[in-house]
Chains A and B, each alone.
Chain A
Amino acid sequence: MDFFATALPALGDAFSLILAPENLMYLVIGVVLGLSIGVFPGLGGIAGLSMLLPFIYGMDPVAGLALMVGLVAVIPTSDTFASVLMGIPGSSASQATVLDGFPLAKKGQAARALSAAFTSSLFGGLFGAAILTVFVLIARPIVLAFGIPELLLLTLFGLSMVGVLAGTSLLKGLIAAGLGMMIGAIGEAPAQGSPRMDMETWYLQDGLALVIVGLGIFAIPEIITLLRQDKPIAKGAVLGNGWRQGMQDWWLNKWLSLRCSFLGVVIGVIPGLGGSVVDWIAYGHTVQTVKDTSDFGKGDIRGVIGPESSNNAKEGGGLVPTLLFGIPGSGSMAVFIGGLILLGYEAGPQMITNDLDITYTIVWSLALANVVGAGLCIFLSGGIARLTAIPFPTLAPFLFMMIAFAAFQSKQTPWDLVALIGVGILGLYMRRFEWPRPAFLIGFVLADQAEVYTYQVTQIANVRLKLKGMEGLMDYLISTTGIILLVIIVVSVYLGAKNKFKLSSVAAEQSTGSKRGPMIFTLMLMAFGALYLQQVIAINIIIDKVFPVTMACITLFFGAVLLLRMRMLPETASIFADTERGEDLNATRTMWATLAWFIGLLAGTLITGFIIALTVFMLVFFRLRAGLSWYRSSALTVMSLTILLIIAGALNRDFPGGLLQEMFKLPWPFT
């Protein structure tokens, strides 16, 4: 396609279309909705777009697109609020932001972190849109250059980040990643559908949702730890006006931001890797490529800029397979395709040949939405950052409500809460004994791809070998793209080995003391591994069991090595790190006593359903734990519930019921 003869006029037409006041208005409405939904953890583009679809039917196409794109484009912008301020991953795209964003908030630099994040988001979003403009015309052969061997290599590239994020002990990192893969493989096998480790419950048949694992591994440990200390999140002074500094931070790291934006676009463009690993790759890349890594995990602004640049850029990249091939790279893109159909367009090659002006309308909407969204967020960040100055017990019930509601988006049953607490306990102990939680999450996110691509490559390679001999096989396995990817992986592993990321915020030696705790925890992980192995080895269909069996064996092997090392090393070795003897030593309450509140909410939900249980929980918590008056407790409870009900009502969500609902039919929201 001739860029100057065809594309430029289309680009111009699209620009004038989108600038019509009515279309701009719809764009802004979309942006505001997207920002509001993105703030809630667990809610994202899927929920937001599904809410819009009934209104899309019958709309003018440009206005409808402006509305939808406006919403999708800013989700990875506003999800940063939860990640930075509360330590709760706002969506799968900002999990890595938590690692440094939250420690910055704890230092009282929330406004600075937010403003750097939003500036990065803005840059990433604009970069994504700019690349999309040209790339959409020539992307087809490039996307097709990524066959299954190349996708497998990309998956390995993602996994190579485990080396960077493993922290002080590579062994622990490998075991954590292996466990993540094992847990990611729970449920119906992707090839022939054998049940794996599902304990014969329907709940585990579909596997654990990423939202549950992300919240359990990151949010629960942070919330519980803070609640034990009864203080505000920000321990220092709150800098409400750090936003100027945040922008400067971005400027100082503009090349990092550019590189991460590029990574985001590339991973978005290639269908098959999935969007939830983008931020981790960007974070790993950040740690690999900067000189001084000593501050990562403790509040290094670059750990915010990297992932936030990549996750907005990914949206632009992700539109390429969506529009060109009709293959959605994410759940929200799948719903977006549904919206296009309601507007009368079908995603596919004709989006370039016949409907280029529409495609460019999408590109412009994307760029404008990023500007409006990031602008609004930067404007608000100073004020919202003050949330970190509120005493934590007053904030906690609201956070419990948000993560419970987020977890319910997984399967809409009280079991979601059970799963969340189960994973949360694992997360708490991983935090306590300094096991690298990012490595676990990367393993979990990439389990499915690692299994499916390995299996598919093997099978296709076998047929090629049979048909065309060795030459045909090599022809398939070795490609230019593949070699480039291999080089990237080697460089990544090398840089990872060189630049170590330290998880511990206190010197490890100070926080060790006893061998018992860390060894018991390791033994329990290994017991789980053994049980898992025993379950999956009994599966009849070979292709359904190869992957989990292999992963379990590898994990158990590394576990045995770790236990041996634990026997030999003195108890002052960093391997025995224990935060109970370090930063949590002075906490006023125990972990279990604090977690009991959340378990209480779960128990209440099982009996009376979520809404009634939540009302009681909030009242009691505000009054007894936060020490507020009955009057203020009631006021805060009513306020929180109102916000929750408005959001749930707009998105047409039910709340899980308990025994009460089994016996009686109750109206919404008690159902």
Chain B
Amino acid sequence: MQWSKKFNRRSVMQAAGAAAIGLSLGLSGASAQAAVDFSGETVTLIVPFKEGGGTDKWARFYAPRLAEQLPGKPAVVVKNMPGAGSTKGANHFSSGRVDADGLTLFASSGSTQFPYLLGDPRVKYDYADWNVVLASSTGGVAYLPADLGAKYNADPKSLLNEQFIYGSQGATKLDLVPLLAFELLGMQVEPVFGLKGRGDGRLMFERGEANIDYQTSSAYLSKVMPLVNEGKAVPMMSWGALDEQGNIVRDPTFPDMPTFKEVYTQVHGKEPFGTAWEAWKAFFIAGFPAQKMVFLPKGASQEMIDTYSNAFKAATQKADFAEASKKRLGMYPQATGATAEAFKKRGTEVDQTALDYIKGWLKDRYGVEL
């Protein structure tokens, strides 16, 4: 939490300063990027999901803000290219049919990273080829109904004797993270598969059909908080956030909530360690702190990468951004430059033992062979 605050404040100050100077000179950073000018051009941001999905909304949230900050103020349009669990759009972006002229960008999400990490045969793209210009973090919160929440608050261990039903989108999807977390805690959770989105899971919870659920931070803030205030739901834990050294710390959006790591320590009497924990952590990072990223294709010039990094940085540091993004994105780092690079590395590189563990777990527990 401390780090995140510091990070935010420091970079906000820096950039606000830089932006202020830039604006007052009427150059808006143009002097540094004199060679790149997008006047009259159209920049296409490929989203490998359908209209209306989480990544689509996120991309459309950024598109006009990015357009404002790019030299020459081009039009930035979102192009949806859904199919094959987002691998179709990602393969297209990698196919060599996309020019590295800075006019085409790609928006990737955890759902694009998971098949990549798990070695899905459909994947023909390599994250190592791409140049990250923005990395957006998010978090997640698991919550319980009022009666179980009261038991949990009295004694977290009491949950080990309960039988849970959890609405899930599938064990190989982002739900891998909560499902594995529940299992590592020793909880008996029966996933009910076939959900179309996390919103369905929330509805199941509200109808009393599921008695545990999780939502990403923005959905938790806007749709579960009212339930908490009414006394119908009790937060259980957040997944946590990542500090600069790669440690899991409390989520800056929910500083009062224990993380999964803390709950684990409380329940088992010792900190989590070993292969299972490392595997969980690796997929947690890919699914949450490094969930959404924007890339330039292979072969983009450094100048172009810098132009976009600076534009995204300026966009996230505009006066009204904090207010708008708090609602939409939560209080998370919107990383550019070297920080984004670090997020990309952590979110797309998983060591073999962790990977083997996850594959074995998916096969033993759910019969899914990859």
Known contacts being A331-B52, A460-B209, is A411 close to B83, with CB within 8 Å? yes
Chain B: minimal CB distance from A191 (Å): 4
Is there contact, CB below 8 Å, between B194 and A46? no
The one of A46, A58, A190, A346 in contact with B52, judged by C-beta atoms closer than 8 angstroms, is A46
Residue B157 is within 8 A (CB to CB) of chain A in the complex: no
Known contacts being A452-B194, A463-B190, is A328 close to B222, with CB within 8 Å? no
Is there contact, CB below 8 Å, between B60 and A350? no
Is there contact, CB below 8 Å, between B84 and A205? yes
Chain A: minimal CB distance from B105 (Å): 14
Chain A: minimal CB distance from B89 (Å): 10
Interface hits, A329-349 → B, CB 8 Å: 331-335, 337-338, 341-342, 344, 346-349
A191 to B367 alpha-carbon distance, docked (Å): 12
A350 to B61 alpha-carbon distance, docked (Å): 21
Residue A558 is within 8 A (CB to CB) of chain B in the complex: no
Contacts of B204 in A (CB 8 A): 148
Contacts of B222 in A (CB 8 A): 326, 346-348, 350
Residue B187 is within 8 A (CB to CB) of chain A in the complex: no
Known contacts being A325-B223, A326-B222, A346-B327, is A192 close to B171, with CB within 8 Å? yes
Q: How many residues of B contact A (CB 8 A)?
A: 56
Chain A: minimal CB distance from B199 (Å): 4
Residue B163 is within 8 A (CB to CB) of chain A in the complex: yes
A452 to B88 alpha-carbon distance, docked (Å): 25
Is there contact, CB below 8 Å, between B327 and A459? no
Is there contact, CB below 8 Å, between A348 and B194? no
Residue A510 is within 8 A (CB to CB) of chain B in the complex: no
Chain A: minimal CB distance from B248 (Å): 28
Stretch at the interface among B18-26, B72-80, B233-241: B72-80
Stretch at the interface among A49-57, A430-438, A564-572: A49-57
Is there contact, CB below 8 Å, between B84 and A58? no
CB-based nearest A residue for B199: A327
Residue B81 is within 8 A (CB to CB) of chain A in the complex: yes
Contacts of B61 in A (CB 8 A): 338, 341-342
Is there contact, CB below 8 Å, between B209 and A144? no
Is there contact, CB below 8 Å, between A46 and B51? yes
Residue A534 is within 8 A (CB to CB) of chain B in the complex: no
A460 to B163 alpha-carbon distance, docked (Å): 11
Contacts of B122 in A (CB 8 A): 202, 205
Is there contact, CB below 8 Å, between B85 and A188? yes
Contacts of A272 in B (CB 8 A): 200
Is there contact, CB below 8 Å, between A147 and B209? yes
Chain A: minimal CB distance from B101 (Å): 12
A193 to B53 alpha-carbon distance, docked (Å): 19
The one of A57, A451, A463 in contact with B163, judged by C-beta atoms closer than 8 angstroms, is A463
Tell me what chain B mostly uses at the interface: helix, strand, loop, or mixed.
mixed
Residue A541 is within 8 A (CB to CB) of chain B in the complex: yes
Interface hits, B40-90 → A, CB 8 Å: 50-53, 56-57, 60-61, 63-65, 75-85, 88
Is there contact, CB below 8 Å, between A191 and B193? yes
CB-based nearest B residue for A542: B367
The one of B50, B57, B171, B202 in contact with A337, judged by C-beta atoms closer than 8 angstroms, is B57
Chain A: minimal CB distance from B239 (Å): 21
Is there contact, CB below 8 Å, between A326 and B88? no
CB-based nearest B residue for A202: B84
Is there contact, CB below 8 Å, between A202 and B83? yes
Residue A271 is within 8 A (CB to CB) of chain B in the complex: yes
Is there contact, CB below 8 Å, between B172 and A193? yes
The one of B77, B83, B190, B366 in contact with A54, judged by C-beta atoms closer than 8 angstroms, is B77
Residue A412 is within 8 A (CB to CB) of chain B in the complex: yes
Interface hits, B299-354 → A, CB 8 Å: 324, 327-328
Is there contact, CB below 8 Å, between B88 and A202? yes
Contacts of A348 in B (CB 8 A): 222-223, 226
Interface hits, A442-468 → B, CB 8 Å: 451-452, 455-456, 459-460, 463, 466-467
Interface hits, A178-221 → B, CB 8 Å: 188, 190-193, 202, 205-206
A57 to B81 alpha-carbon distance, docked (Å): 22
Interface hits, A279-338 → B, CB 8 Å: 325-328, 331-335, 337-338
Is there contact, CB below 8 Å, between A338 and B367? no
Contacts of B165 in A (CB 8 A): 459-460, 463
CB-based nearest A residue for B52: A334
Contacts of A412 in B (CB 8 A): 81
Contacts of B63 in A (CB 8 A): 54
Residue A540 is within 8 A (CB to CB) of chain B in the complex: yes
Residue A139 is within 8 A (CB to CB) of chain B in the complex: no
A202 to B115 alpha-carbon distance, docked (Å): 15
Is there contact, CB below 8 Å, between A192 and B368? yes
Contacts of B256 in A (CB 8 A): none
Chain A: minimal CB distance from B218 (Å): 8
Residue A402 is within 8 A (CB to CB) of chain B in the complex: no
Residue A543 is within 8 A (CB to CB) of chain B in the complex: yes
Residue B219 is within 8 A (CB to CB) of chain A in the complex: yes
Known contacts being A191-B170, A459-B192, A460-B192, is A338 close to B209, with CB within 8 Å? no
Q: Mark B137-174, 1 if CB is under 8 A from A, else 0.
A: 00000000000000000000000000101000011100
Residue B207 is within 8 A (CB to CB) of chain A in the complex: yes
The one of B64, B78, B84, B97 in contact with A50, judged by C-beta atoms closer than 8 angstroms, is B78
The one of A146, A192, A202 in contact with B170, judged by C-beta atoms closer than 8 angstroms, is A192
Chain B: minimal CB distance from A155 (Å): 13
Residue A652 is within 8 A (CB to CB) of chain B in the complex: yes
Known contacts being A191-B170, A191-B193, A202-B84, is A349 close to B226, with CB within 8 Å? yes
A144 to B77 alpha-carbon distance, docked (Å): 38
Contacts of B324 in A (CB 8 A): 344
Chain A: minimal CB distance from B361 (Å): 14
Is there contact, CB below 8 Å, between B56 and A338? yes
A349 to B200 alpha-carbon distance, docked (Å): 16
Q: Mark A11-22, 1 if CB is under 8 A from B, else 0.
A: 000000000000
A412 to B193 alpha-carbon distance, docked (Å): 29
Residue B206 is within 8 A (CB to CB) of chain A in the complex: yes
A190 to B200 alpha-carbon distance, docked (Å): 14
Chain A: minimal CB distance from B242 (Å): 25
Residue B183 is within 8 A (CB to CB) of chain A in the complex: no
A16 to B81 alpha-carbon distance, docked (Å): 41
Residue B364 is within 8 A (CB to CB) of chain A in the complex: no
Contacts of A147 in B (CB 8 A): 207-209
Known contacts being A190-B193, A349-B226, A459-B192, is A541 close to B368, with CB within 8 Å? yes
Is there contact, CB below 8 Å, between B57 and A338? yes
Contacts of A347 in B (CB 8 A): 222
Is there contact, CB below 8 Å, between A54 and B75? yes
Contacts of A350 in B (CB 8 A): 222, 226
CB-based nearest B residue for A455: B194
Contacts of B218 in A (CB 8 A): 346
CB-based nearest A residue for B204: A148
8 new A-B contacts, CB < 8 A, other than A53-B78, A192-B171, A337-B57, are A147-B208, A148-B209, A192-B172, A272-B200, A338-B51, A347-B222, A350-B222, A460-B165
Q: Can you list 25 pairs linking A and B with CB atoms under 8 Å apart?
A: A50-B78, A53-B60, A144-B206, A191-B170, A192-B366, A192-B368, A206-B83, A271-B203, A325-B223, A326-B219, A327-B200, A331-B51, A337-B52, A338-B51, A338-B57, A338-B61, A341-B328, A344-B324, A346-B328, A348-B223, A460-B192, A463-B163, A463-B165, A476-B209, A543-B193
Chain A contacts to B: CB under 8 angstroms: 46, 49-50, 53-54, 57-58, 144, 146-148, 188, 190-193, 202, 205-206, 271-272, 325-328, 331-335, 337-338, 341-342, 344, 346-350, 353, 411-412, 451-452, 455-456, 459-460, 463, 466-467, 476, 540-543, 652, 665
Closest 6 pairs between A and B when the two form their complex, measured CB to CB: A334-B52, A452-B194, A57-B64, A191-B193, A327-B199, A338-B57
Chain B contacts to A: CB under 8 angstroms: 50-53, 56-57, 60-61, 63-65, 75-85, 88, 97, 122, 163, 165, 170-172, 190, 192-194, 197, 199-200, 202-204, 206-209, 218-219, 222-223, 226, 324, 327-328, 366-369
